[in-house]
Chain A
Amino acid sequence: MTRGRPELHPMRSPHDFEVIRDPLWNTIRLDATALRIIDTPEFQRLRHIRQLGLAYLVYPGATHTRFDHALGVCHLARQALALLGERGDLEGGPRGLPLHPLCGAPPRHRPLPLFPCSGRAERPAASGDARSAHRALPAADGIRRALESVAPDAPARVEDLVRGRSASPLQGLVSGSLDLDKIEYLRRDAMFCGVPYGEVDADRLIHAFALVPDPATGKVEIGIHEKGLSALESLLFPCSSPAWCGMHWTPT
């Protein structure tokens, strides 16, 4: 080392991470795996699918896309995992598989699934289920390859999460009362539609996430600390308010 001159670490490759601006969450940091997924044609296609379909004919601002929403979910997933990790909740539990591949899971509005979502999403008809399941991940070759770069079994594990059949305690972040998709679209759709009723306290809610053992079965799942109850109410209220229903059920 040259005396008197501070040693500089080599600059990280721009492919290691990316920081982008978002009108809702301000700054979203994407790591290398997320970037690999985002750079696939399957994910880029989401730029051209409006989050609320034809609702822009009624709410002119509702031109935001599934791409924006997916990046937002990615941001929340990263935040939630970081907080759970910081508290030590993830130690000894399922590790390694980042949830950010689920950024690609499109929401509920129309049957254009990259990964058919569990939970709120429209499920394929029983007769077509096997065919849909067959084509879900294999059809998204770029995403499969990006996931395989994380771990060979990552595509299968992600598919289990998306379909709601994973044994992971983190399943609840993907589908359930506290799923990050819901938290994100409630905020984003309200913002872009100009219907600011029932602000979701996402930050407080995510800070209250905890991995909790079910007293009945002992199975650990994502839950919420009592301190986050008010924030939970902020999530439940918009889901049931006339304003929200008007926005999401506007028949166009």
Chain B
Amino acid sequence: MVRDALDADLIDPDEIVGQTDERFLALLEVRAAGSSDSAARRVSERWLPALLGRRLPKRALEIPGEVLRGYAVDGWLNSDAELRHALEERLATELRLPPGGVLLDYPEKESMLGLDLLLLRRGGEAQRLNENGRTGLIGLPRVADELYHTARVFRVFTLDRRTLSPEKIMPLLARSASELRRRLAEPAPLL
């Protein structure tokens, strides 16, 4: 919705800062009303009513982060908005959904703990405690890393219910940004 609002010039990025939740939604509603711009119409006719009626996009696919360890997707999904959008739009077309009908979601952070602190031992000695833990003292960082990668999930959401096969999507996620860009330029279907 925010992307559509920005594309339709309903709101300036600087305006987003400082808005309260309700005021932001009301602003979009007022500004999108009566606009003939397609992105503005999506805001007023699709996203805002969907929020009010709690009609959320449906989960079409989930792939655990553990499976995607080492995949190139981490290098572009959250840092290359244009490429991500191009992939979403291409998937939407192939799934016979309207523009904006596919959303890709993959939590950005590769690690949550970021453990790095000084530990004061009982004897007064100071030691640095980091992601490797400290033998005999704390082993959780290693366990937590495993848990984290299991909990981190790549998801594809669709406006209407669709089913996607991981075998079709995972090769795309393995591609680097430039490889994916080349693939998107080819007319052959992705799915």
Q: Give A residues with C-beta under 8 Å from B.
A: 45, 48-50, 53-54, 57-58, 111-113, 139, 172, 176-178, 210, 212-216, 221-227, 229, 232-233, 236-237, 239-242, 244-246, 249, 251-252
Contacts and interface: CB of A to CB of B under 8 A. Distances in A.
Contact of A212 (B19, B56, B118, B157): B118
Contacts of B147: 240-242
Nearest to B111: A240
Interface of B: 16-23, 51, 54, 56-57, 103, 105, 107, 112-122, 125-129, 137-138, 140-141, 143-145, 147-148, 150-153, 155, 157
B12 to A, nearest CB: 12
Contacts of A212: 118-120, 126
B18 to A, nearest CB: 7
A242 B65 CA distance: 12
Contact of B19 (A112, A210, A215, A227): A112
Nearest to A244: B151
Given A214-B118, A224-B117, A229-B137, A241 B21 contact: no
Contact of B117 (A215, A223, A251): A223
A240 B141 CA distance: 9
A214 B126 contact: yes
Contacts, number: 117
Contacts of A229: 119, 137-138
Contacts of B103: 251
Given A50-B21, A229-B137, A245-B107, A239 B112 contact: yes
A226 B115 contact: no
Given A111-B16, A233-B138, A251-B155, A176 B117 contact: yes
A48 B120 contact: no
Given A48-B21, A237-B140, A240-B113, A249 B120 contact: no
B150 to A, nearest CB: 6
B184 to A, nearest CB: 23
Contacts of A224: 117-120, 129
Is chain B's binding surface mostly helix, strand, loop or mixed? mixed
A252 B153 CA distance: 15
Contact of B114 (A49, A177, A213, A215): A177
A245 B148 contact: yes
B71 to A, nearest CB: 18
30 contacts: A45-B18, A48-B20, A49-B20, A49-B21, A54-B51, A57-B54, A112-B17, A112-B18, A177-B117, A213-B126, A214-B126, A221-B118, A224-B118, A224-B119, A224-B129, A229-B138, A233-B140, A236-B113, A236-B141, A239-B112, A239-B113, A240-B113, A240-B144, A240-B147, A240-B148, A240-B151, A241-B147, A242-B150, A251-B57, A252-B56
B151 A246 contact: yes
A244 B148 CA distance: 10
B105 A237 contact: no
Given A111-B17, A213-B118, A237-B144, 17 more contacts: A176-B116, A178-B117, A210-B120, A212-B118, A212-B120, A216-B128, A223-B120, A224-B119, A224-B129, A225-B120, A226-B120, A229-B119, A233-B138, A237-B140, A241-B147, A249-B105, A251-B157
